[in-house]
């Protein structure tokens, strides 16, 4: 039997965050999730996907601090965090982007990741793991997603920078770079036959990501057995060239 570990997942009520919460909980770990709505965080606990939850907007540092304190108090500490919370871009050509919305994407996806990483730094048991959800778009930008691409590239660089600063303090910092998984954020593209076919044509593995793919990967990266991967960007995209 594997050792029971204690994890916090931001944005853990939907999409990749929810997939990982279910997977980690099923393995016997204790998982705390955050989300932006009381109804969604309650539903995650009621479904048995998490041991507890907090309402949290990662762009607001005060709510991040409260959520981390609640998790530490309830779980008796934290061994790792999966900083997954984020929002999509506008899906528009660069010349049509709203600067205000662009700033919101960066505030949530980048500044939010910093808020959570700093909170984790102050609370994680050592040795500990900080896994940040970036995107394959950070490595290979996608057309009409300049805001999302830029934000996720910044998140990847942030993870590498934190690894430089913190790896000598028994903290492993890794960026996960997923490709297309079926989530609320991507279903509009995957449910469009033409768009779906175009995306699949650029994925050599011939399929989109599955819950087991990301669940098993995140489980390993958070397990404490990936210490020497600190500073790495881990693509999880079926060799996608998107």
Known catalytic residues are: 148
Rounded CA gap, 151 and 65, in Å? 22
* Measured distance CA(233)–CA(175) in Å, rounded: 5
Token pair of 211 as six digits:
């819950």
Task: Tell me the C-alpha distance between 125 and 105, whole Å.
Answer: 30
Rounded distance between C-alpha atoms, residue 9 and residue 242, angstroms: 26
CA atoms within 13 A of residue 212's CA, in its CB half-sphere:
0
Neighbouring C-beta atoms of residue 104, cutoff 10 Å: 16
Cis peptide before 127 (omega within 30 of 0): yes
Residue 240 has a CB neighbour count (10 Å cut-off) of 23
How far, in Å, CA of 31 to CA of 5, rounded? 8
Give dist(CA 83, CA 133) in Å, integer. 6
Residue 108 contacts by C-beta under 8 Å, 6 or more apart in sequence? 58, 59, 85, 86, 87
């Amino acid at each position: 039997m594997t050792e029971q570990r204690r994890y916090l997942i931001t944005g853990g009520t939907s999409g990749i965050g929810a997939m990982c919460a279910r997977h980690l909980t099923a393995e016997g770990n204790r998982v705390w999730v955050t989300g932006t709505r009381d109804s969604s965080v309650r539903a995650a606990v009621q479904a048995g996907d998490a041991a507890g939850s907090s309402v949290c907007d990662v762009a607001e540092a005060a709510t991040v601090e409260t959520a981390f304190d609640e998790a530490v108090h309830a779980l008796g500490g934290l061994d790792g965090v999966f900083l997954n919370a984020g929002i999509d871009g506008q899906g528009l050509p660069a010349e049509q982007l709203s600067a205000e919305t662009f700033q919101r994407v960066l505030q949530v996806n980048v500044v939010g990741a910093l808020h959570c990483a700093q909170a984790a730094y102050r609370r994680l048991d050592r040795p500990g793991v900080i896994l940040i959800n970036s995107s394959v778009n950070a490595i290979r930008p996608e057309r009409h997603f300049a805001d999302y691409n830029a934000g996720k590239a910044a998140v990847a660089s942030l993870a590498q920078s934190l690894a430089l600063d913190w790896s000598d303090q028994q903290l492993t910092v890794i960026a996960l770079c997923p490709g297309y998984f079926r989530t609320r954020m991507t279903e509009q593209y995957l449910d469009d036959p033409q768009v779906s076919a175009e995306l699949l044509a650029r994925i050599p593995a011939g399929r989109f990501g599955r819950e087991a793919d990301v669940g098993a990967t995140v489980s390993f990266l958070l397990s404490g057995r990936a210490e020497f991967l600190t500073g790495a960007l881990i693509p999880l995209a079926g060799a996608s060239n998107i």
